[in-house]
Amino acid sequence: MPEPTIVHPDGMGYIPHAAGFVANEGPKLVSGRFPYEDSYTLECALATGAYTGLRAALGRTPADVHTEVRDATLLGRGGAGFPAGVKWGFCPEDVWPRYLVVNGDESEPGTYKDRLLMERDPHQLIEGCLIACYALGLSQCFLYVRGEMALAQERLAVALNDAYEAGYVGRNICDTDFSVDITLHWGAGAYIVGEETALIESLEGNRGMPRLKPPYFPAAIGLYGRPTIVNNVETLANLPWILEHGAIAYRGYGSEASPGTRLFAVSGHVVRPGVYEVEQGVTTYRDLIYGPNFCRGIREGNELKAFIPGGASAPWFFEEQLDLSLEARDIGAAGSMLGSGAIVVMDHTTDVVKACLRIVRFFARESCGKCSPCREGTSWEEKILERILDGHGRPSDLDLLLDIGDNISPGPYPVAAHGAAGLDAVPFPPLQTTICPLGPSSVAPITSALRRFRSEFEARITRHEGIPVRSAPVVDGDPA
Amino acid sequence: MSFFTEANARTAAEVIARYPRPRSAVIPLLHLAQEQEGWVTRDAMVEIAELTGATPAEVLGTGSFYEMFRFHPVGRYVVNVCTNISCQLLGGEELLHHVEESLEVHAGGTTADGMFTVEEVECVAACTEAPCFTVNYRYFHRADPDTFDAVVDDLRAGRSPLARGAQGDDGNLPAHGTLGRLRQHIPDDRRAGVVPPEQADQEPVWLRTAPSTTSAADA
Ligand SMILES: Cc1cc2nc3c(=O)[nH]c(=O)nc-3n(C[C@H](O)[C@H](O)[C@H](O)COP(=O)(O)O)c2cc1C
Ligand code: SF4
Ligand code: FES
């Protein structure tokens, strides 16, 4: 096997050809090939064991392969964390064809891992798709890559062409009866298309708007009205390892409830931001943010003000949540979510009103407009925060913000405990009056920031200097 | 008069053949049209409608939902600056400000010489590499005003800036509209067979036969 070309030019462990990836200590179940410079080629992939998991799968019955994945407790990496093996079981029997749609639309702010997986190791993803198709009898796979990711599109196109040529994709794969086509597809810029039913609408050639639920899973009714499995890129990228080494070995990493590893992107005010492969469940936020093996603390010795534990949609955490481990269940009980494995760290210099507005504005811009609480609510949230930031806020605005939030997501909104103020956590997930969770996500930064930093918002609202008065009457353009 | 060039018409036919229903090819074909002209013209939409069994209005309806499609001419280079949270924390807004000042154009606008269109965009999945911007969807990580100025100098001088650390392919930065340049191509003798869902209503054969071919799989 060729030696990987790991280069540590700055002693930081970054790899020049895999931007942001840090080759830290620890098991590498999905990022093992990243350090090889030519990891995306079929040649390198085959020399480092690619398609071994597929061959192992093809030597067993499809039902057996499904059982192996169920036993591994492979939790979905797209955001909701639903076990893949269980979701796979939701396809109705005797309805054919069934499809696989790969969610490579990665656009949750803070999230950077699927792009790396597609650019650095396309064959691992293709192998994962094939294993899923084999296990469930899925007759065609659609690889939906985010439109903005030109390099990932190229790498996947070449990888697919090579894999077809070599007999790993297409007709009679590895000389068996297993045949499946993988169609490379890319989007055109819309965050909401990451929601699985919107993804399917988009793949059917429509505006990417989420479908009404139920059915809750497209496994029942999906693409062209047929049973469809939608899985995240990282979820599928785990399958080759699981089939090669088995569920028991997989469960040897991470915790009982969350086995295996995950790619976490840690961004913001840390010394060494990056994408790390981390054992789930057993690692804590403190390890990740301060550990020498990970981000090495807050930049310039600054103090932590807040951090977002699972992508922009997640309620914020603070100092007192640092010792929570990366365990979906515990984080949910503490008022937020593990989400898409994106941690955004804010130090004490951060203007939380500005940060809050930026995230809210994202949801306002990306709302698909299908339901009114989200369409209207998110833009009002944005307008109100904007006027507060501009110094035109009204004292009633803070309650108004919470009221709008309550119309999108009724009841107490999930939020972290604030021990010093005697406030308990409200567990995840939020309720919703909307078709999909995008609307409710816009409430997360508002309730999180207002609970902790209300005084910073109030300081913006209370004026300390006189309001300028217009000195001359408006003459030009008088409609009368 | 057809809109697509002969070569692109062949590509379009190949793309459509990869989907069980032609309508699914609307977005890929809009990309192809944008690659050909730099933006999506009316003629393009009329032809895409014919090819996919949609109406031109439906093609516009779909296309206008997605921010990458342009229905008016844009600059040869579209500069997208991310100001979302991770980039904002590390100077994304200041970077955008510099881009606007130095090109003398507001976000959303195009320079008078038609070279650059500037956009303020949402997270582009490079958050640990903040602040970042892309030019025609090629990434520039951990960027500062100097990085940006150097990229502009390169482009104005007709050099590719990809050597400056963008994630590139063959080192050439194509004009706006071209995304992945290496395309998927399924050889006829390797194709499993794409058919409309109505014609694939049987359990796939390997669910019944596997793993009778174990020995072959082990080979
Ligand atoms: C607004 C919204 C955006 C989403 N964006 C993504 C995304 O970009 N990528 C992704 O894999 N899942 C995304 N999801 C989650 C998907 O709906 C779906 O749960 C996931 O792709 C299932 O795959 P998994 O079970 O393997 O995680 C999003 C969900 C919502 C509500
Ligand atoms: S919640 Fe927002 S994004 Fe989701 S369906 Fe409703 S309007 Fe669209
Ligand atoms: S926030 Fe800028 S790339 Fe993610």
What pLDDT does A480 receive?
43
Q: What is the mean pLDDT of residues A382-390?
A: 96
What pLDDT does B171 receive?
66
Those residues whose C-beta lies under 8 Å from the C-beta of residue A222, and which sit 6 or more positions away, are: A99, A101, A200, A228, A229, A230
Alpha carbon B35 to its chain's center:
9
The answer to whether the Cβ–Cβ distance between B206 and A115 falls below 8 Å is no
Q: Where are the beta strands (DSSP E) in A220-260?
A: 228-232
Those of residues 17-36 in A touching chain B at CB distance below 8 A are: 19-20
Each residue's pLDDT tens digit, A217-259? 999 999 999 999 999 999 999 999 999 999 999 999 999 999 9
Q: Where are the domains of chain A?
A: 40-250, 352-461
> Which ligand has an atom closest to residue A78 CA?
1
Residue from A193, A199, A202, A209 whose mutation best tests the ligand 2 pocket (most atoms within 8 A of CB)? A209
Q: Provide the CATH number for the domain formed by B1-73+185-213 in this structure.
A: 1.10.10.1590
Residues of B in contact with A59 (CB under 8 A): 211, 214, 217-218
Q: Which atom of ligand 2 is nearest to the CA of A368?
A: 8
Architecture of domain B77-164: 3-Layer(aba) Sandwich (3.40)
Q: Where are the domains of chain B?
A: 1-73+185-213, 77-164
Closest C-alpha to B165, from A239, A153, A17: A17
Average pLDDT over chain B, rounded to an integer:
92
Residue A185, pLDDT above cutoff 50: yes
Ligand 1 near A107 CB (within 6 A): yes
Those residues whose C-beta lies under 8 Å from the C-beta of residue A182, and which sit 6 or more positions away, are: A126, A129, A130, A140, A141, A142, A143, A160, A169
Please report which confidence band the pLDDT of residue B160 belongs to, taking 50, 70 and 90 as the band edges. Answer: confident
Distance CA B194, CA A182 (A): 10
Q: Say whether A352-461 and A40-250 share the same fold.
A: no
Residue of A nearest to B202 (CA): A96
Span of A13-17, A166-170, A442-446, B154-158 with lowest mean pLDDT: A13-17
Please report which confidence band the pLDDT of residue B209 belongs to, taking 50, 70 and 90 as the band edges. Answer: confident
Please report which confidence band the pLDDT of residue A16 belongs to, taking 50, 70 and 90 as the band edges. Answer: confident
Indicate whether this model's pTM tops 0.80.
Answer: yes
Residues of A in contact with B88 (CB under 8 A): 354-355, 358
Please report which confidence band the pLDDT of residue A7 belongs to, taking 50, 70 and 90 as the band edges. Answer: low
The answer to whether the Cβ–Cβ distance between B68 and A226 falls below 8 Å is no
CA distances from A410 to A113, A284, A439 (A): 33, 31, 12
Out of B23, B54, B86, name the one closest to residue A110 (CB).
B86
Q: Provide the CATH number for the domain formed by A352-461 in this structure.
A: 1.20.1440.230
Distance B33 CA to ligand 1 centre (A): 29
Distance CA A276, CA A15 (A): 12
| CATH T-level fold of A40-250 | Rossmann fold (3.40.50)
